[in-house]
Every structure is written in structure tokens, then in C-alpha cells.
Amino acid sequence: MDKLTKIVVIVGGGNAGWLTAGRLAAKHNSNSEQGLKVILVESANVPAIGVGEGTWPTMRSTLKALNISETDFIRECDASFKQGAKFAKWHDGSEDDYYYHPLVLPQGFGKTDLAGHWLAQQALAKNQSSEQSPLPANSQAHSHSFSNQVCFQEAICEQGLAPKTIRHAEFADVANYAYHLDSAKFTRFLQKHCQENLGVTHIIDDVIGVNSIGDTNSEGARAGDIASVTTKAHGDITGDLFVDCTGFSSLLLGEHYQVPFKKCDDVLFIDTALAVQVPYENDDDAIASHTISTGQKAGWIWDIGLQSRRGVGYVYSSKHSTEAEAKQILAEYVGVKNGAQLDSLKVRKIPINSGYRETAWQNNCVAIGLSAGFLEPLEASALVMIELGAQMISEQLPQSRAVMDIVAKRFNETALYRWQKIVDFLKLHYILSEREEPFWADNRDPSSIPESLQELMTLWQYRAPADYDFTSNNEVFPAASYQYVLYGMGFNSDYSHNPFALDDTDMASSQFEQNKKLTAKALSLLPSNRELLSKIKEFGLSRI
Ligand SMILES: Cc1cc2nc3c(=O)[nH]c(=O)nc-3n(C[C@H](O)[C@H](O)[C@H](O)COP(=O)(O)OP(=O)(O)OC[C@H]3O[C@@H](n4cnc5c(N)ncnc54)[C@H](O)[C@@H]3O)c2cc1C
């Protein structure tokens, strides 16, 4: 007889555990007798990682799928709106060196190759200016930057504005947005919601053993499947599917199944984080509506504005910096005098082992979250991987053991593809830098650049990234994201060899014009990020 999937046991109660529990319980009616039973076991002795404050716009669909009110989420998770990332000092490290990776697609994306037209304008302007008075290096005005010319969101962010107004309903927008959130508050919020509203069973206990099924048994389980996990106080907890959300310890997939870990530290060099929470000086200080990511000697600093504080952290390569040096750099950034004073902000040091498990789903066990892998916080790719993984498990939940291996195979192919693409996209941020410190120079070493990325870079010498370059329906970063990074970092795709590629100049002009109009409209309409958040706290947004 075939073994049906009736009980899912999730080990781990960080954001990966609760997001997965919520997705499964909401989709499979865990509130009802006939629904899927979702049990989440978490240790009171192993704290969740407690960092991870930047999200993707996918979080809006995740919250909706969990039937969470955006107002409640914003009120209880210290959340703010995020409209992309500002990369400062990544190109040459100078004071006015920055570019944006916004969340709105380039104007007319898919209708015309606006990137190509923008590049052609740049080339023309450069030729004209070198004939008249040569421009000094790095003098390109930000108003003519790629992201400003093709997208209205950079202007909104530079003014500290929100992506919508109080008159917009929950999850509606003027400009596409994600959130910044307090990771620990988000975990507690999800836990309460999953228990009270979605029917998830919560057990606080330590998992101390994993028990395998011996041979294929009469109920259709497979040899090597997990039968149960042993806990300290609650005995054995049996299930049909086990989800490993145990964070870096990867208790089920890594320790029990010994699934190999693919290290990525030969490509991505970040291996240490120093994280602090910084209070605002005044209660009404502006809240940046984008993540600020500032290049440093041996890595970069993230700066995330929540309602009540900022979350700031220096992620660096310990091969290129001592901890004392890193602390000094972080101290200077947050405006305290030195590393010793920084300690008053309770610095947390977190080691990062960049890489991922080669197989995410083994037998009847699938890993979601840090247990499956982590690269570095750049572009906030971890929570989105959790959301996408949890969504796929809930939508593709194998109804019986007989089909589980087929679903697992697809899940593994998708996860592997996504990891490889994320590695490429993160590496792209580093390889075009002209900074001279060894960290940045080593990042440009061709031996550290994956062949798949080198291939794309060769293609893009002659044209802008396009959807043709990303043909899977499981892409994480669209071609537009590659455009923002490439042209923000000063890359040139030379269209001069193909004069027919850009023959739709009328369409392009109208899209550039449209972007100007949208920019002006957004700037006149939108309140500041703080103002909107205060209003939401006071009045709430209307529910959809
Ligand atoms: C420096 C840094 C910055 C980051 N920034 C971002 C960001 O900006 N954006 C983003 O998307 N992501 C970011 N991340 C990643 C993000 O923090 C995580 O992906 C996310 O919090 C999910 O973590 P998790 O639930 O997988 O693991 P954890 O939070 O570590 O949770 C593990 C859980 O497993 C439980 N557990 C462990 N062992 C046992 C046991 N034996 N028995 C029972 N329970 C057990 C623990 O109690 C805990 O509940 C960042 C990560 C780091 C390190």
C-alpha cells in the first residue's frame, strides 16, 4: 500500500521553519481535522540566527498566502518599506560613486531595448564632450545614470519617499516594494499567526536523534527514509515528510544524511559578519527606503532602516582583513570613535560558510533555509530562497511516498539551478569594480569567476542582458537586475557593430519621456517613508 503524506514535521523555528509551516498549513487546511498535520519542533537552547532584515517583493505574496494583514505585519515587526539597494563605493570607492538596483523594471522593458538606447546616448554624449571639453573621469552626473533614466524609483529613494500612500490598500503600490524587518520580531509574529490562525502544532524541545526506517515496509516507505526524530522531553515524533530548518547545523540533511556541501568561497570571499543595531538620534529621523550597501576595504557594509533603529553590519573576507581592522571600519561607519566603543553596541560576530547542499531533498527530508545553504547577504537572496522553496513544497506537496522522489528530483534541479544563478549574480557585483585593495583585485581574478558568468559577460559586450539569457521559469534575478548592476558599474555593451538593433528610436524616446513623467508624478504624490509608516501605525491600511 502507498504511504500518504499526512504529517509534516519541521525541525527548527527560525524564519525558515515558520515560513514553511505557514505556507504548508495555509494551503493544506491544517486547521481542519482532514487537513495536513504540520508539527514544528524547535529547541529552546539554540537561538534562531536573528539577522536577515532585507527581503524581496515576493514577501508580499508570501504574507498574502499566509493571510497576514500588512498593517499587522508593519506594526509588529518594526518593518519599513524597501525599494531596492543603493550600492555606494563599489565602482571606484570615491565619495560620489553610487548606483541603484531598484525593484521597478526599466521603463518599457520587453517592448524596447531601452538599455541599448541609453548606451547609444551615452556613447554620443561622450564623443561630443571629448570633441569640445573632455570630461574628467567619473564626472557622469547621476541624473543621467542608467537607473535614473530608465526607472523612476531611484528618484523616490533619493528623496526618502515611500512606495505608496495611506490611501492605497494593503499590498497595493505606486512603485514595486519589499520590506526591511526585525528578524526576531518577524519570527515571533509568524509563530503566533501559525499557531493561532493556521493550526500549526508547536513543540519546544531539542531534537537529539534521527531514526531511519529499516527496509521498505508494508506501508510503502523507503529504506533510509526518516521514521521519526527523537526529542529530549517529547519522545519520538513521527512524520511522513521532514523539513530540516535547523539553520547552519543542518541536523537532518547535513548531519544525518551527510549530503555534500558545495563550498563557494573560491568565488565569493565573504566569510565573516559583524552586526550591530544602531538607534536613531531623533525619533523623527528619516528612514531610508532602500538598503544601503557601501563597499569597504575587504567587503561591504549593509545599512537597513527599520522604524525604531538601523541594522548595520560589515561582511568581510578574513583573508583580506583582521577583525580589529573590520571593527574599526564598522565603528567609523556608525559614527563611534573606535572598535572598543563599538562593543557598547553589542557587536555580534557571525561566521559565514559560503555554499549550499548539493541535494536539498533526500528521501523524505527536504532542507529549507540556512540548513540548505547561504552565500552572503548581498541582494538579500536567502529569505527569497526560503519563500520559493516553501511555496514549491506546499504547492507540489507529494500526496504519497510513491511520487515523492519525482517531486524531490524537480525540487533539487530547481534549487541547484537557483543557487548557481545567485552565485553568478552576486559575483557580477564584484568583478567590474576598479577598487585597488587586494579584496577587490582578487575578485577580478578570472580564475574566481564562474565560466557561466564569463560566458554571459562575453555576450553582453555586444548587447544588453535580455530575457533570452535567462530561459528557465525558475529564475531568481531577471535580466533587468543584471542591467542595473552592469550599467551602474560602468560596463559598456557596444552596439556600434549592429546598427539595426536600435531602429525603434520613437518607441525608446517615448519610454524615456514616460519615465520622466512618472518620476515627476511620484515625487509630487508620495509621502516620506517615515510619514507613511507612522500613519499606518496610527490608522492602518485598508484591507483588500
Ligand atoms: C550576517 C547575515 C545577514 C543576513 N542578512 C539577510 C538579509 O538581509 N536578507 C535575507 O534574506 N537573508 C539574510 N540572511 C539569512 C537569514 O538570516 C536566514 O536565511 C533566515 O533568518 C532563516 O534562518 P533559518 O530559519 O534557516 O535558521 P535559524 O534562524 O538559525 O533557525 C534555526 C532553528 O533551528 C532550531 N534548531 C537547531 N538545532 C535544533 C535541534 N537540535 N532541535 C530542535 N531545534 C533545533 C533552532 O532552535 C532555530 O529555531 C542573513 C544571514 C546572515 C548570517
Give the pLDDT score at 1: 63
Measured in angstroms, how far is the CA atom of residue 337 from the centroid of ligand 1? 31
Place of cell 583585485: 441
Which atom in ligand 1 lies closest to the alpha carbon of residue 15?
A: 25
Give the pLDDT score at 136: 40
Give the pLDDT score at 216: 54
Residues 382-405: b if buried by 16+ CB within 10 A, e if exposed: bbbbbbbbbbbbbeebbeebeebe
Between 496 and 292, name the one with better pLDDT.
Answer: 292
* First-to-last C-alpha distance (Å) of the chain: 45
Burial class (CB in 10 A: 0-12, 13-18, 19+), 110: exposed
Which atom in ligand 1 lies closest to the alpha carbon of residue 313?
A: 1
Q: Percentage of the chain surpassing pLDDT 70?
A: 97
Measured in angstroms, how far is the CA atom of residue 473 from the centroid of ligand 1? 27
Q: Model confidence over 507-533: pLDDT tens digits?
A: 999 999 999 999 999 999 999 999 999
C-alpha grid cell, residue 25:
498549513
Q: How far apart are CA 311 and CA 190, in angstroms?
A: 20
Residue 166, C-beta contacts closer than 8 angstroms, at least 6 positions apart: 527, 532, 535, 536, 539, 541
Which atom in ligand 1 lies closest to the alpha carbon of residue 42?
A: 44
Q: Model confidence over 247-276: pLDDT tens digits?
A: 999 999 999 999 999 999 999 999 999 999
Residue 227: pLDDT over 50? yes
Measured in angstroms, how far is the CA atom of residue 115 from the centroid of ligand 1? 38
Nearest CA to ligand 1 atom 16: 52
pTM of the model: 0.96
Residue 138: pLDDT over 60? no
Which atom in ligand 1 lies closest to the alpha carbon of residue 53?
A: 8
Residue 231, C-beta contacts closer than 8 angstroms, at least 6 positions apart: 41, 203, 205, 206, 207, 208, 237
Which helix (DSSP H) or strand (DSSP E) does residue 198 occupy?
Answer: helix 183-198
Query: If you average pLDDT over every residue of the chain, what do you get?
Result: 94
Nearest CA to ligand 1 atom 27: 247
Measured in angstroms, how far is the CA atom of residue 522 from the centroid of ligand 1? 37
Which atom in ligand 1 lies closest to the alpha carbon of residue 386?
A: 19
- 59, 243, 290, 370: residue to mutate for ligand 1 pocket, most atoms within 8 A of CB: 370
Q: Percentage of the chain surpassing pLDDT 90?
A: 88
Residue 344: pLDDT over 90? no
Q: How far apart are CA 479 and CA 113, in angstroms?
A: 11
Q: Could you give phi then psi for residue 163, rounded to 5 degrees?
A: -85, 0
Which atom in ligand 1 lies closest to the alpha carbon of residue 231?
A: 42
Q: Kindly list the strands in the beta sheet with 355-357, ordered across the sheet, starting from the edge strand earlier in the chain.
A: 261-263, 355-357, 373-374
Average pLDDT, integer, range 435-459:
98
- 10, 51, 317, 386: residue to mutate for ligand 1 pocket, most atoms within 8 A of CB: 51
Which atom in ligand 1 lies closest to the alpha carbon of residue 302?
A: 8
Cβ atoms of 225 and 213 closer than 8 Å: yes
Ligand 1 neighbours (beta carbon < 6 A) = 11-17, 41-43, 46, 48-49, 51-54, 183, 206-207, 245-247, 249, 251, 273, 275, 313, 350, 352, 369-371, 374, 377, 380, 382-383, 386
What pLDDT band is residue 85 in, cutting at 50, 70 and 90?
very high
Give the pLDDT score at 137: 41
Distances (CA, A) of 272 to 58, 303, 315, 426: 27, 16, 6, 16
Q: Model confidence over 367-419: pLDDT tens digits?
A: 999 999 999 999 999 999 999 999 999 999 999 999 999 999 999 999 999 99
Q: Model confidence over 21-66: pLDDT tens digits?
A: 999 999 999 999 999 999 999 999 999 999 999 999 999 999 999 9
